[in-house]
């Protein structure tokens, strides 16, 4: 019997049988082709809830994915905490231009946090997605993880240097990051989000050591996850093999990884520890989705299925120039495997 996208996603998340593996994008999934088809373009779709929901809905309505998610960028919390953004225009995403704090500055959490910047539009977009698609598909809200928000409100280069030498000097900023992400996630849940994706990209082992992850990232991820009433997917970029057990022990419902992670080895470690946390991934977003073609995408999708992923997803944000037919090939390949 064929499952709905909602049923398929939740069954996979809970380790139950599925009719086929779910296909989602844990990170942003908007593309220029979808913008054209839906008449919803950046940057307007980042400031208008109706346009945001319309473009996000393309993941289900056009691509056939089992979840839709907002936002498209990673700057809502940082902007609300005082960062000045550099706009991405029609083809790119906003980024932090000016950091509001230097290390050593006192930090204050704004009482009107949820009313700042584009957050009200983001929450309304979730309400719209829930009302329009919530009976069919998972509505996912994305927040930035505590360590990474700290890396946005501070100069990341200085932050990483201090993390090695005087880690305690960063605690107040990471605490603010946790509070901001948790408050936004709770508001998303109230607006109708079924799942929260936490992107803590800056605590990759490409940037920090396992010791720093365990001391400055994992405890705040765990605190955040415990405060949320819906399933959570934790996404961290890069190589995670030396901390994959630590990530699972944050209590997240699933872990989203990039192609560099040794998935069979990670699952073997999980089995040895009695851990059942699902892994999600990991189609290469650049070499396969952006530079590749339909056949290459099909080949990598089959490889991901063979590795033991519980859900198939791009390994990180979808490059917006990715062609629709390449993304649809993921769903088609999984569907063919079912048949």
Q: What is the per-residue pLDDT across 243-277, written as a single tens digit (0 to 9) for each?
A: 999 999 999 999 999 999 999 999 999 999 999 99
Dihedral of CA atoms 242, 245, 249, 253 in degrees, nearest 10, equals: 110
Q: Which two tokens stand for residue 264?
A: 């069979």
Q: Is the pLDDT of residue 21 over 70?
A: yes
- What value does the mean pLDDT take over residues 284-291? 96
Angle at which helices 119-133 and 49-56 cross, to 10°: 50
pTM (predicted TM-score)? 0.97
CB 24 within 8 A of CB 9: yes
Closest listed residue to residue 99, CA positions, set 81, 124, 73, 123: 81
pLDDT tens by residue, 178-220: 999 999 999 999 999 999 999 999 999 999 999 999 999 999 9
Element (H, E) at 90: none
Q: CA-CA distance, 126 to 140, in Å (whole number)?
A: 8
Encode burial over 4-41: b for 16+ CB neighbours within 10 A, e otherwise: ebbbbbbbbbeeeebebbbbbbbbbbbbbbbbeebebb
CB 53 within 8 A of CB 125: yes
Domain 5-338 is found in CATH 3.40.640.10: no
Q: Is the pLDDT of residue 19 over 90?
A: yes
Q: Which two tokens stand for residue 98?
A: 């000016």
Q: CA-CA distance, 336 to 339, in Å (whole number)?
A: 5
Indicate the pLDDT class of residue 337, thresholds 50, 70 and 90: confident
Q: Is the pLDDT of residue 338 over 70?
A: yes
Q: Where are the domains of the chain?
A: 5-338
Q: Peptide bond before 43: cis, by omega within 30 degrees of 0? A: yes
- DSSP three-state, residue 296: helix
Q: CA-CA distance, 315 to 259, in Å (whole number)?
A: 6
């Amino acid at each position: 019997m064929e499952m709905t996208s909602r049923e398929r996603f939740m069954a996979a998340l809970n380790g139950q049988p599925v009719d086929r593996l779910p296909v989602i994008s844990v990170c942003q999934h908007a593309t220029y082709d979808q913008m054209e088809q839906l008449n919803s373009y950046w940057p307007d779709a980042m400031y208008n809830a109706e346009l945001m929901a319309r473009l996000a809905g393309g993941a289900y309505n056009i691509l056939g994915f089992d979840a839709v998610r907002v936002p498209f960028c990673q700057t809502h919390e940082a902007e609300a905490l005082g960062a000045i953004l550099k706009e991405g225009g029609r083809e790119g995403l906003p980024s932090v231009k000016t950091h509001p704090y230097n290390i050593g500055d006192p930090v204050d959490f704004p009482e009107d946090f949820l009313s700042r910047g584009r957050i009200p539009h983001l929450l309304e977009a979730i309400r719209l997605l829930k009302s329009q698609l919530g009976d069919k598909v998972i509505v996912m809200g994305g927040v930035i993880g505590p360590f990474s928000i700290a890396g946005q409100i501070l100069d990341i280069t200085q932050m990483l240097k201090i993390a090695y030498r005087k880690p305690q000097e960063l605690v107040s900023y990471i605490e603010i990051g946790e509070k901001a992400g948790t408050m936004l996630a709770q508001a998303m849940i109230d607006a109708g989000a079924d799942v929260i994706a936490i992107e803590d990209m800056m605590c990759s082992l490409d940037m920090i050591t396992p010791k720093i992850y365990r001391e400055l990232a994992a405890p705040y991820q765990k605190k955040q996850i415990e405060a949320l009433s819906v399933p959570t997917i934790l996404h961290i970029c890069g190589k995670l093999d030396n901390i994959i057990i630590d990530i699972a022990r944050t209590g997240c419902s699933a872990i989203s990884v990039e192609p560099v992670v040794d998935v069979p080895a990670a699952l073997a470690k999980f089995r040895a520890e009695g851990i059942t946390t699902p892994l999600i991934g990991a189609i290469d977003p650049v070499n396969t989705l952006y530079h590749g073609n339909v056949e290459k995408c099909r080949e990598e999708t089959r490889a991901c299925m063979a590795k033991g992923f519980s859900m198939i997803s791009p390994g990180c944000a979808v490059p917006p120039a990715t062609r629709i037919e390449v993304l649809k090939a993921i769903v088609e390949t999984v569907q063919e495997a079912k048949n």
